[in-house]
Amino acid sequence: MAPVLLVTGLACTDAGLEPPFSPGTVYDDELHLSAEVCLTPASDASFPVKILFVVDTSDSMSVTDRDAKRAKAVSDVIRRYGAQPGVAFGVIAFDSNIDQLTDGFTTSPDTGPIETRLSQADRLTDYQGALSAAYQMISEDIVASSPADRARSKYVVVFFSDGTPDPQCSAQVTVCGAGTCPAHQHCRAGVCKADYLICSVPRKDWQTAFDPPLSPDLYPDLGLGADYNQMSQILRSVDDMIGLQDFYRVGEIRLHTAFLYDPEAASDPLAAPFGLDRAGGVELMTAMAEHGYGTFTEFDSATSIDFLNINYTSFKEENGLAMVLATNLNVVDTGAGLKADTDGDGLIDESEAGLTCVGNGASCTDPMDSDGDGYTDLFEERNRVSGFDPNDAKKPLIPCASKSDSDGDLLRDCEEEFLKTDPRNPDSDGDRIPDGIEFRLGMDPLNRGDVYDDPDRDGERSIDEVKAHTNPLVAASPSHPVVRYLYDVAPFTKDTGEQCFQLDVRHIKLLTTGKGTDSRLGLNRVLLYFDEAPVDRALDFGRVRVACVDVRYVDGALKSPSDGLVSFSETDFKPAETFDQRKDCLDRTSIPMPSKDAGSP
């Protein structure tokens, strides 16, 4: 009787709709998605480049670089690459003081103040402090960027100096030539020399012991009678900076060194107090470049200073297909059969029976959020032990700051804040499964390795079950055999040279949702994720695009589209970070369901 009643109800609407099926037709419950999608050319991808200059402005520069050619060399690079998209600059000047001349990395640095500061020459040469400041600037920039941007970012550090570090303090006896230097002396050019006075004067006395007085804010890492600016410490600072690459999964960090030694300037009587040491400088800065996986350059005069020989270009690699994943938001595999989830929040209708909205949202502004506190019902149900309650808007005590889903991964921003996932990255752990899908399936969106587990011991990895739309935590019972999604991915090349794929996903099961309602009756929302990433960068988070379609299925009596085929075009795929279910889903329901006002039964 169900098909007959449904047809009768449709015939009573004001629109006078004719159902696109013959009376008595029985429709299968499967959907077939088809799409043609092309990879983003490497030339069109955005690969950020961050260029950081760390420039010596100590007093010796007043002799070796009288005309401040170093400042012009920095400006030349800014002018050359400043107009290119994705390129940002940072500048640090160092002598006794460490000055960040830009507010972090900026795409439009003001070269006027930068050149003015870089043209100055004052006091000592604090390598260790300068490297510490560079580390801080880079690490802060990394933390402020999204993991996806980090994976493609290139940091280029150019460290320039005309001498060896000072003050250089030694707390231990050091080898020097054929002998050793006692504590509080250091080896310079094969000769033991007493440490700088600053190495042995307590910080509290700096303003009275020196002329002119020193600020106690200088050299924050310098401890009384301790090592400072030793070669081992400097190289360790470089290692720490380069270590940020692996720790944060940054695309690339390199440190290049440039050393100025002008024989004519070195023989100038005015240069004598500075003890210019070519051998020591070349040894140290060569080692710094080796530890920084960069290059070492020596300039023999100030006029030869040129930083344009360094490779600042971003790496751009060809993209490849990383993952194709389809999911029906309104169908949940419980392990004991497929169950309807009318509101698509990941909690099946049967489990929402005690909630205010009872899953169908008939009396709710937001059917996925029964108590209206911003958190979805599934999220609150899963986190009851943490103070959440899907029926109590006062729980949790912390309100939802943002109901938006900024990265299109099916988790709201406030939910990602609680889970510590990244609201700007649809795949926080880089395992090719969107965070929200992992959460719905009981997986960990912060554990890259759990996709290779088999928690239900059915012989299938979780990642294979996710693609098949089966439950990775519960093995299917013999009485409820599952139908797996079947993927067919065929690559081809267009005449234009574009690398593309013909995608087909079959056996997507549909259910009759919204029973007891009208407008949502039979609605199934299906998403298709397309993830691409540079071929040789396994740690790249990739670029995720999403296509979405609404179809309808009611108990075999109604199906729209009737042939069960939905074809997506290239333009139907939206970047995950801009994807919005409210406006980006295709409507293939075609048969509007009657409202109660229209006299439906």
Quick: pLDDT tens for 267-297.
888 877 777 888 999 999 999 999 999 999 9
* Same domain as 114, residue 33: no
Cross-strand pairs, 298: 259
CB 426 within 8 A of CB 408: yes
**pLDDT score for 591:** 64
**pLDDT score for 94:** 94
Domain end (from 270, 304, 338): 304
Rounded to whole angstroms, the Cα distance separating 428 from 433 reads 9
Domain end (from 186, 221, 256): 221
Q: What is the largest CA-CA distance in the chain?
A: 108
* Same domain as 357, residue 471: yes
DSSP character at residue 166: B
Give the other-Cβ count within 10 Å of 66's Cβ: 12
Asked whether the predicted pLDDT for residue 594 surpasses 70, the reply is: no
Closest to 108 (Cα-Cα) out of 79, 74, 149, 140: 79
Does residue 547 form part of some domain?
yes
Q: Which residues contact 114 (CB under 8 A, 6 or more apart)?
A: 71, 74, 75, 91, 101, 102
Give ∠ CA 74-79-80 in degrees, rounded to 5.
Answer: 100
Q: Which residues contact 100 (CB under 8 A, 6 or more apart)?
A: 90, 91, 92, 133, 137
* Same domain as 413, residue 369: yes
Rounded to whole angstroms, the Cα distance separating 328 from 32 reads 12
Quick: pLDDT tens for 51-84.
999 999 999 998 999 999 999 999 999 999 988 8
Banded model confidence at residue 168, pLDDT cuts 50, 70, 90: confident
Banded model confidence at residue 435, pLDDT cuts 50, 70, 90: very high
Domain end (from 221, 243, 260): 221
* Same domain as 431, residue 419: yes
Backbone angles phi, psi at 570, to 5 degrees: -60, -40
Quick: pLDDT tens for 292-303.
999 999 999 999
Whether the bond between 592 and the residue before it is cis, its omega within 30 degrees of 0, is no
271 or 549, which is more confident? 549
- Token pair of 248, please? 């944060």
Residue with tokens 């299968």: 28
Q: In Å, how far are 57, 167, 185, 219, 567 from 199, measured between CA atoms?
A: 21, 7, 10, 10, 74
Q: Which residues contact 170 (CB under 8 A, 6 or more apart)?
A: 181, 183, 184, 185, 186, 195, 199, 227, 230
Asked whether the predicted pLDDT for residue 16 surpasses 50, the reply is: no
* Same domain as 517, residue 471: yes
* Chain centre distance of CA 349: 35
What is the pTM (predicted TM-score) of this model? Answer: 0.69
User: Can you tell me whether residue 193 is helix, strand or coil?
Assistant: strand
Does residue 310 form part of some domain?
no
**pLDDT score for 184:** 67
Give ∠ CA 145-149-152 in degrees, rounded to 5.
Answer: 140
**pLDDT score for 23:** 57
* Same domain as 73, residue 213: no
**Which amino acid is present at 14?**
D
* Same domain as 563, residue 479: yes
Banded model confidence at residue 49, pLDDT cuts 50, 70, 90: very high
Does residue 386 form part of some domain?
yes
Cross-strand pairs, 187: 192
**pLDDT score for 5:** 38
Q: What is the enclosing helix (H) or strand (E) of 180?
A: strand 179-181
**pLDDT score for 477:** 77
**Total domain count, the chain:** 3
Task: Name the E strands within 386-522.
Answer: 486-493, 499-509
* Same domain as 67, residue 14: no
Rounded to whole angstroms, the Cα distance separating 487 from 481 reads 19
Residue range 513-528: mean pLDDT, rounded:
86
* Same domain as 578, residue 544: yes
Q: Considering the chain, what percentage of its residues have pLDDT values greater than 90?
A: 61
Rounded to whole angstroms, the Cα distance separating 368 from 357 reads 9
Asked whether the predicted pLDDT for residue 263 surpasses 80, the reply is: yes
- Token pair of 348, please? 């099946």
* Same domain as 94, residue 37: no
Q: Which residues contact 311 (CB under 8 A, 6 or more apart)?
A: 156
51 burial (CB, 10 Å; 0-12 / 13-18 / 19+) is buried
- Alpha helices by DSSP H, listed for 86-155, are 111-118, 127-144, 147-152
Does residue 108 form part of some domain?
yes
**pLDDT score for 509:** 97
225 or 436, which is more confident? 436
Q: Which residues contact 547 (CB under 8 A, 6 or more apart)?
A: 35, 527, 528, 530, 568, 572, 573, 574, 586
Range of the domain at 200: 168-221
Banded model confidence at residue 355, pLDDT cuts 50, 70, 90: confident
Q: For residue 134, give the CATH number of its domain.
A: 3.40.50.410
- Token pair of 170, please? 């030694």
* Same domain as 73, residue 61: yes
Residue with tokens 């695009």: 545
Does residue 467 form part of some domain?
yes
Does residue 312 form part of some domain?
no
**Which amino acid is present at 346?**
G
Does residue 545 form part of some domain?
yes
Range with the poorest average pLDDT among 294-298, 351-355, 453-457: 351-355
Mean pLDDT of the chain: 87
Q: In Å, how far are 209, 221, 458 from 226, measured between CA atoms?
A: 19, 10, 61
* Same domain as 496, residue 378: yes
Residue range 570-597: mean pLDDT, rounded:
82
Does residue 107 form part of some domain?
yes
